[in-house]
Amino acid sequence: MFGFRKKQALKVREISLPLVGKIVPLEQVEDEAFSSGVMGKGIAIQPETGKVFSPFKGKVAHLMDKSKHAIILEDECGFQILIHVGMNTVSLKGEGFTAHVKTGDSIEEGQLLLEFDIAAIEQAGYTVVTPVIVPNGQDKVKSVEVNQGNTTAETTIRIHLN
């Protein structure tokens, strides 16, 4: 008898994007940490509105409390995503940002998490292009694919889980 192994079913989680806007390939983001893929795989968004919504049910793993410009969410399956509003917006020290959640909060899909003032951020000299990535180094994540359309409504991130 041959030693065939039973093929395990691969768990795949497909998530919608947490902002409404125009898709920007991650390679075009001005911050090399994102554009080179060194931080993880994903996509960037030129937001139409200054609102970030939860793409899944889970929890807030970490909110940058003082600056409110970045948030890490953890899905019920255990993987995390990073939503980083703008480039160098940490320098604004929270000015123009409103958080509706805090680290440790449980979240529901579609829940409003953050609001940000696009005009005020751009007037201060910063871009609001927002990377949404699956950070590298997660034991739960086997691979990440971006199913890219022209808009956020047509684009998803597919996460293959171990």
Examine the residue annotation and report whether 100 is marked as an active-site residue of this protein: no
In order, the DSSP letters of 65-130 are TTT--EEEEEETTS-EEEEE-SSSGGGGTTTTEEES--TT-EE-TT-EEEEE-HHHHHHTT----E
User: What is d(CA 74, CA 86) in angstroms, rounded to the nearest whole number?
Assistant: 21
DSSP-derived secondary structure letter, 24: E
User: Are the C-beta atoms of 147 and 44 separated by less than 8 Å?
Assistant: no
State the catalytic residue, choosing from 62, 69, 84, 160. 84
Between strands 70-75 and 112-116, the pairing is unpaired
Task: Pull the structure tokens for residue 123.
Answer: 């007037």
**In sequence order, what are the residues at sequence separation of 6 or more whose Cβ sits closer than 8 angstroms to the Cβ of residue 61?**
72, 73, 74, 80, 103
Active site residues: 84
